[in-house]
Amino acid sequence: MEYKDQEGYTHDLVTLLLAVKLAYNTSQNSTTGKSPSLVEKGWNPLLPVDHLKKNLLTIHPTSKDLHDMWKKAFDTAAKLIAEAKEYNKQRWDKSHMEPDFKEGDQTEEDKLPSRKNNSTPAEIVEVEDSPVPVKKIIKTRKIRLNGKDQRQYLVRFKNQTADKDKWWLRMPNQMVTFI
């Protein structure tokens, strides 16, 4: 597999894996605040090109080209890792949101899905119930609905027994429960 950078140089991706691995092991982790190699080994690896002084007159052109290539590969890998971290953070934040309703809120059950068995998708049907106060949010779980990760909440209603608990899924414009 070959990769062509912005300046037209063609690189073999297998040779760039070393730079990606080095960039990953020396970049700061958002959880620990330290790089993986610093946590595992106690030190960050350095390349000979890290000690190369650019201002010297005796630098060989090949050495300078190697240094520039490593620097570009390292910067590209660090940028890709930062983008991946940001994407994963956004995905995590989106799937782990707090529910819009709280204990004691009046919830209007405008539409309920009826599910005959777990293999059939939920159907939206009209219900003529009055608003029901939420007594307690018991449990949460993640489900995959229409190709997206959604968070569900097991809710107990006021003046109801445990057998009337329902899984609630908060959608943008409606409250939906799964029976």
Tens digit of pLDDT for each residue in 125-135?
A: 334 444 555 66
Which tokens in the block code for residue 104?
């004691």
Q: Which domain holds residue 133?
A: 106-178
In a domain, 100, yes or no: no
Regarding whether 122 and 85 lie in a shared domain, the answer is no
Residue 36 lies in a domain: yes
Q: How far apart are the first and last CA of the chain?
A: 51
Instruction: Please report the pLDDT score of residue 118 as a whole number.
Output: 46
- Do residue 14 and residue 36 come from a single domain? yes
- Is residue 13 located within the same domain as residue 72? yes
Domain boundary among 60, 95, 130: 95
pLDDT given at position 115: 44
- Establish if 76 belongs to a structural domain: yes
Asked if residue 14 and residue 83 are part of one domain, the reply reads yes
pLDDT in tens, 77-110: 778 878 888 888 888 777 776 666 665 555 554 3
| Whole-structure pTM value | 0.38
Q: What is the pLDDT of residue 127?
A: 40
Q: How many domains does the chain have?
A: 2
Among 97, 86, 110, 109, smallest CA distance to 150 is for: 97
**Which residues of the chain, if any, have pLDDT below 50?**
109-130, 171-174, 176-179
